[in-house]
Amino acid sequence: MAEPYTPPKPKKTLKRKRSQPERDGIDMDEPFPPPAALRRKIPNFQGHGPQNCGDHHHRIMSSIAETRYKAHFPFSSMTWTCVGCLGDYCPINLHDLPCGHFFCLNCLNHRIKVLPSRLGIYTKQLNDTMAEMVALEDQPRRKRMPATQRREVEQTYSRLKFKLLHYAGLECCGMDTKLNRFVGCLSPGASRTYWLCSHWLFDRPHERRSCAWPDCEQYIPVLCRWELRPSLGGGDGQRYYCVQCRANSRDSSQRVLVSPQTKFPWLPEGQDLLLPSR
């Protein structure tokens, strides 16, 4: 009796040993992704928008008077005034400032929209103020100062910080507006603009960089600087991750000596020039 036919086993083919980026599932044409620690520090701008706005509850300063008022008028039927457009809105649709004023969503977006232009107008004042703050931060033996002298330095630093907020238009009635509490209500573009400008405001001038890709040139905060791992082909310095185009830039040996960047004209001249990179 003939034995049943058994097909031959396929021969094993040697596969090419893939590089580390391919083994990690990274497309060789895509930019290197920033580390997870950096990604956690960047807000999810695409998840922001007007759909998150509303249902804001505010702290009432005069609680006794407010309790009596609410006994006759429910909270949902009250109307408060926006300090920007002077329109009346339900309190849950307004955004409260520490000084007691309120902004509607349209005025809040407008305040963020003009923020880059204010940084451009008051560039010199902002940089001079930041230079004074850096001098205080780098003051040697600050911890060894007498308590009275250290307190004077801290008060001076607070006054300089307030000057930055004043020039940028981020103060109201002499207080920080703390608009970072409402970035989720803004559109993705507006929330990204606020995040970038607020970082530019407190980044040291000599550390400021802009994206090297010609079609972007957006500001790159110091926070978005990271070291490329050797397993990903690193070893040629740091990478600068751009939250606008999601691409990377790297340092070069050249410096900007004649003209600064176009999109952020207030970046200091003489900084390290960045090159497009994976």
Structure token pair of residue 228: 């490329």
Is pLDDT above 80 for 169? yes
Which two three-digit tokens encode residue 91?
């309190």
Distance between CA 211 and CA 274 in Å, rounded?
Answer: 7
Higher per-residue pLDDT: 257 or 57: 57
- Asked if the model's pLDDT at residue 76 lies above 60, the reply is no
Averaged confidence pLDDT in the chain: 77
| Distance (Å) of CA 54 to CA 96, 102, 108, 194 | 12, 13, 13, 20
pLDDT at res. 48:
93
Overall pTM > 0.85: no
Tokens 């290197």 label which residue?
32
Instruction: Tally the residues of the chain.
Output: 278
Q: Is the pLDDT of residue 77 over 60?
A: no
Mean pLDDT within 3-11: 56
**Residue of higher predicted confidence among 225 and 148:** 225
Rounded to an integer, the average pLDDT of 220-230 is 84
Across 9-18, 91-100, 217-226, the highest mean pLDDT is recorded for: 217-226
Q: Helical H runs in the chain?
A: 20-23, 36-39, 63-72, 105-113, 115-121, 123-137, 147-168, 188-202
